């Protein structure tokens, strides 16, 4: 009897101890592991779904004089004319896959991105080319200025917009086409000239400098390389900005007026404004199409000290991308046993135009399996496109989701926002927002879904990339 009583007492004490332990490791919807690391968080299912109304984000960046508002072009905050049809997720992901394959081919075959003496070959746009780029900004061009909405892309060098007259064809865009004849500050760049030679060819069209960009999906833009007054904000004006004035534009570019190139290339806006902004810019992509983000040029003296920097890694000559070094992944506070060579064999870039992150298959499988284990209590849904791990949350009010943390070179740890973990097709089909490459040796791509809500800082002159939490909502 005494022995039985002792066992019962010991069992009760153990039960109470476990209850106390659980209480100690639950705080504000977070679950903590035994080592004190945050393992998971509780979220309402409604927070994973887009809102029908616009709720602009508030951030410190919005008060900076060189800050542009970033909007998701398919959301309620967009001032562009909305398509009557819902966003085609299937088509978007197919185009995203095409873009990634093109990028990877440029790294695997050592191409410098040029084709022929007069052709600049750039990657296919994410989504339906530029027309389905998720994020856009509005700038002013000319004197007097005309507002134009441009998609922005860290993987493209040239900034261009459609111009009148259309000597070939022009696609439909939301705003009126830019008319250089009505601007007192417009000037064609002569050919031959030093500026014209930056395009990588020496073919002249009379005395003017032509450009031609052919995208992988056979969309094209052609016109003249010119200079113009660029107005970023009322107080931030760039004189003699070099851009492409497109007079023959064909393909599925959607209703944006063109593209802002943010790569580290001599013709990009980053290089052209180096004297003013020091080759330093940052952006925050909102968690939902129902919110807004920002794109800021220049270093803010009051910038958050919470930004952690990882070195930018070198990319092949002529590749218009920013390289990064991924060193590990954690799920639920536990570092996965992935050999470092898995990440280093193919390397990786960060890209604002790729929708979802591509990982080496060895790393992806380890992350997916750990995530599935943590989410075992929830109903699985059919796979969707690139995504093989989806859930039906339509009957849930809240879900407990494990944290996913990326470890970058330099000891940088990035805990993804919920919006960076899931891709929302619909409430009954919410998917783990990652995909596997074909081989571990393929280039990895850190996509824009995983960048959501972070202050992503490009210190190009300093050779480093920063991540700051809570950049926008």
Q: What integer pLDDT is reported at residue 112 of this predicted model?
A: 38
pLDDT at residue 34, as a whole number = 45
Following DSSP, what letter does each residue of 137-173 receive, concatenated? Answer: EEEEETTTTEEEEEEEETT----EEEBSS-SS-----
pLDDT at 121 over 50: no
The pLDDT assigned to 301 comes to 53
In order, the DSSP letters of 10-68 are HHHHHHHHHHHHHHHTEETTEEE-TTS-EEEEEEEGGGGS--SS------GGGGSTTEE
| CA proximity to 216, closest of 348, 111, 332, 333 | 111
The lowest-confidence range among 134-138, 178-182, 349-353 is 134-138
pLDDT at 32: 57
Among 92-96, 155-159, 234-238, the least confident range: 92-96
State the Cα angle at 464 between 461 and 470, rounded to 5°: 120
- CA 178, CA 161: separation in Å to the nearest integer? 8
Question: Do residues 440 and 358 touch, judged by C-beta distance below 8 A?
Answer: no
Lowest mean per-residue pLDDT among 28-37, 64-73, 422-431 = 28-37
pTM score of the predicted model = 0.88
Average pLDDT over residues 265-274: 96
Residue 137 clears pLDDT 90, i.e. is over it: yes
pLDDT band at 114 (very low <50, low <70, confident <90, very high): very low
Model pLDDT, residue 10 = 42
Topology (CATH level 3) of domain 59-81+88-100+111-297: Cathepsin D, subunit A; domain 1 (2.40.70)
| pLDDT over threshold 70, residue 295 | yes
Model pLDDT, residue 24 = 38
Residue 178 contacts by C-beta under 8 Å, 6 or more apart in sequence?
141, 142, 146, 148, 161, 162, 163, 164, 245, 257
Tell me the pLDDT band of 85, cut-offs 50, 70 and 90.
Answer: low
Residue 117 has a pLDDT of 25
What is the DSSP annotation of 207-252?
A: TB-EEEEEETTS-EEEEEEEEEEEEEETTEEEEEEEEEEEEEEES-
Q: Is the pLDDT of residue 292 over 90?
A: yes
Span 329-346, mean pLDDT? 97
pLDDT (tens digit per residue) in 375-417 = 999 999 999 999 999 999 999 999 999 999 999 999 999 999 9
State residue 46 phi and psi, 5-degree precision.
-60, -30
Predicted confidence (pLDDT) at residue 318 exceeds the cutoff of 60: yes
Give the pLDDT score at 202: 60
153 catalytic residue (yes or no): yes
Q: Which residue has the higher pLDDT, 389 or 200?
A: 389
Per-residue pLDDT at 204: 82
pLDDT exceeds cutoff 60 at 257: yes
Q: How far apart are CA 196 and CA 209, in angstroms?
A: 6
Q: Is the model more confident about 470 or about 83?
A: 470
Quick one: pLDDT at residue 161? Answer: 97
Catalytic annotation, pick one of 96, 265, 351, 440 = 351
Average pLDDT over residues 185-204: 89
Residue 216: what pLDDT?
67
What percent of the chain clears pLDDT 90, i.e. is strictly above it? 65
- Alpha carbon of 307 to those of 292, 391, 459, 465, 469: distances in Å? 20, 33, 12, 9, 7
Among 96, 133, 153, 264, the one annotated catalytic: 153
What is the rounded average pLDDT of the residues 362-366? Answer: 99
The confidence score (pLDDT) of residue 109 equals 58
Within this chain, domains 59-81+88-100+111-297 and 308-468 share the same CATH topology: yes
147 catalytically annotated: no
Q: Which residue has the higher pLDDT, 58 or 435?
A: 435
Q: How confident is the model at residue 82 (pLDDT cuts 50, 70, 90)?
A: low
| Across 16-43, average pLDDT | 56
Q: What is the pLDDT of residue 319?
A: 78
Q: What is the pLDDT of residue 8?
A: 40
At residue 11 the predicted structure's pLDDT band, cuts being 50, 70 and 90, is very low
Does the domain at 308-468 match CATH 3.40.50.300? Answer given as no
Can you give the residue ranges of every domain in the chain?
A: 59-81+88-100+111-297, 308-468
Q: Say which residues have a Cβ less than 8 Å from residue 31's Cβ, sequence separation at least 6.
A: 25, 38, 39, 40, 41, 42, 400
- Tell me what the mean pLDDT of segment 284-298 comes to: 95
User: Element (H or E) spanning 311, and its range?
Assistant: strand 308-311
Bigger pLDDT: 159 vs 59: 159
Q: What is the pLDDT of residue 113?
A: 32
pLDDT tens-digit series, residues 300-317: 755 556 899 999 998 887
| More confident call, 33 vs 365 | 365
Whole-number average pLDDT of the chain: 85
């Amino acid at each position: 009897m005494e022995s039985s009583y002792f066992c019962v007492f010991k069992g009760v004490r153990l039960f109470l101890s476990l209850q106390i332990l659980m209480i100690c490791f639950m705080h504000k919807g977070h679950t903590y592991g035994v080592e004190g690391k945050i393992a998971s968080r509780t979220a309402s299912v409604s927070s994973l779904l887009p809102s029908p109304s616009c709720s602009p984000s508030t951030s410190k960046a919005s008060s900076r004089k060189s800050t542009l508002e970033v909007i998701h072009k398919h959301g309620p905050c967009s001032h562009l004319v909305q398509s009557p049809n819902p966003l085609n997720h299937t088509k978007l992901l197919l185009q995203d896959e095409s873009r990634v394959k093109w990028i990877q081919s440029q790294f695997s075959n050592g191409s410098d991105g040029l084709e022929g003496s007069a052709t600049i070959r750039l990657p296919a746009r994410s989504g339906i080319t530029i027309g389905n780029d998720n994020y856009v900004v509005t700038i002013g061009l000319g004197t007097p200025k005309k507002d134009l909405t441009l998609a922005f892309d860290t993987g493209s060098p040239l900034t261009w917009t459609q111009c009148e007259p259309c000597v070939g064809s022009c696609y439909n865009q939301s705003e009126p086409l830019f008319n250089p004849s009505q601007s007192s500050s417009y000037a064609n760049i002569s050919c031959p000239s030093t500026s014209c030679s930056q395009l990588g060819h020496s073919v002249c069209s009379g005395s003017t400098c032509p450009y031609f960009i052919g995208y992988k999906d056979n969309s094209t833009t052609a016109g003249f390389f010119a200079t113009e007054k660029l107005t970023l904000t009322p107080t931030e004006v760039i004189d003699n900005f070099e851009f492409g004035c497109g007079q023959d534009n064909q393909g599925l570019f959607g209703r944006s007026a063109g593209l802002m190139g943010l790569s580290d290339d001599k013709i990009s806006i980053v290089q052209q404004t180096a004297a003013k902004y020091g080759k330093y810019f940052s952006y925050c992509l909102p968690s939902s199409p129902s919110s807004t983000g920002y794109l800021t040029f220049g270093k803010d003296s009051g910038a958050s000290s919470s930004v952690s920097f990882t070195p930018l890694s070198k990319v092949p000559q002529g590749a218009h991308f920013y390289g990064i070094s991924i060193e590990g992944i954690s799920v639920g506070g536990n570092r996965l046993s992935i050999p470092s060579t898995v990440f280093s064999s193919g390397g990786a870039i960060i890209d604002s135009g790729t929708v979802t992150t591509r990982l080496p298959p060895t790393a992806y499988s380890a992350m997916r399996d750990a995530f599935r284990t943590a989410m075992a209590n929830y109903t699985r849904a059919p796979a969707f496109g690139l995504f093989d791990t989806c859930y039906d949350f339509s009957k849930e009010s809240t879900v407990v989701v494990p944290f996913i943390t990326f470890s970058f070179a330099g000891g940088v740890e990035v805990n993804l926002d919920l919006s960076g973990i899931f891709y929302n097709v619909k409430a009954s089909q919410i998917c783990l927002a990652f995909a596997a490459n074909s081989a571990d040796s393929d280039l990895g791509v850190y996509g824009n879904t995983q960048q959501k809500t972070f202050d992503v800082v490009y210190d190009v002159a300093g050779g480093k990339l920063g991540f700051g939490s809570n950049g926008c909502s």
